[in-house]
């Protein structure tokens, strides 16, 4: 009886140790990739942005970065990165940026939910924002 008890204890302690080790390993991994608000991709910055892209960057930071993240890296649980293969010009042309801002976007590529229309931007502003995103995409080998 005593021995059985000891063996059970050893087994339990062993299992707890292994379980704890696995859980810690997992938690560390998951915080690195899935903490709410964490960047979804890493974006390399071009040495120089064109003048239009610099104007677009300011508008982007005022109107888009709260969801799509600084430098369009995306945010876990909030919105996708725009520096992403899905948004290359061949798949999401410049007009899709105009449409997204004007009419909003029904969730279809991701599970972040819908994007509401963004108020207070002219078509010209969105051209500049698109230019900025394209220059980031190009620097990061998206197209
Ligand atoms: C309130 C959060 C929020 C803000 C602010 C926001 N977006 Fe979005 N956006 C989203 C989400 C979420 C999606 C993903 C929808 C999906 O599942 O495809 C998205 C998708 C997009 C798409 C893809 C459209 C398509 O056709 O699939 C573009 C382009 C885009 N956003 C541009 C912008 C620009 C430019 C701004 C700033 C002017 C902006 N967004 C501001 C949340 C936001």
User: What residue's CA is closest to ligand 1, atom 40?
Assistant: 64
Instruction: Determine if ligand 1 sits within 6 Å of the CB of residue 112.
Output: yes
Can you tell me which atom of ligand 1 is nearest the CA of 79? Answer: 12
How confident is residue 34, by pLDDT bands cut at 50, 70 and 90?
confident
pLDDT score recorded for residue 28: 46
Nearest atom within ligand 1 for CA of residue 126: 35
**Ligand 1: nearest atom to the Cα of 96:** 26
* Closest Cα to atom 22 of ligand 1: 100
Burial of 122-134, coded b for 16+ CB within 10 Å and e otherwise, reads eeebbbbbbbbbb
Ligand 1, atom 26, lies closest to the CA of 96
pLDDT at residue 3 is higher than 80: no
Q: Please give the average per-residue pLDDT across 30-42, as a whole number.
A: 80
Question: Distance between terminal CA atoms of the chain?
Answer: 70
- Gap from CA of 135 to ligand 1 centroid (Å): 18
Write down the pLDDT at residue 29.
Answer: 46
Query: Is residue 109 lining ligand 1, measured as CB closer than 6 Å?
Result: yes
pLDDT tens string 96-142: 999 999 999 999 999 999 999 999 999 999 999 999 999 999 999 99
Cβ burial of 7 (10 Å; 0-12, 13-18, 19+) is: exposed
Give, in order, the Cα–Cα distances in Å from 142 to each of 8, 92, 101. 56, 12, 22
Say if CB 102 and CB 111 are below 8 A apart.
Answer: no
Q: Which atom of ligand 1 sits closest to the CA of residue 121?
A: 38
| CB of 134 shorter than 6 A to ligand 1 | no
């Amino acid at each position: 009886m005593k021995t059985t008890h000891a063996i059970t204890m050893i087994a339990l302690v062993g299992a707890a140790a292994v379980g704890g080790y696995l859980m810690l390993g997992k938690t560390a991994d998951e915080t690195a990739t899935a903490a709410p608000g964490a960047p979804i991709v890493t974006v390399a910055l071009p040495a120089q942005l064109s003048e239009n892209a610099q104007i677009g960057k300011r508008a982007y930071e005022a109107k888009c970065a709260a969801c799509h993240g600084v430098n369009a890296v995306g945010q876990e649980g909030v919105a996708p990165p725009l520096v992403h293969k899905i948004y290359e010009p061949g798949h999401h042309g410049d007009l899709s940026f105009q449409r997204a801002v004007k009419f909003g976007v029904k969730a279809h590529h991701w599970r972040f939910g819908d994007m509401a229309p963004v108020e207070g931007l002219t078509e010209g502003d969105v051209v500049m924002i698109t230019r900025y995103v394209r220059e980031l995409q190009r620097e990061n080998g998206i197209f």
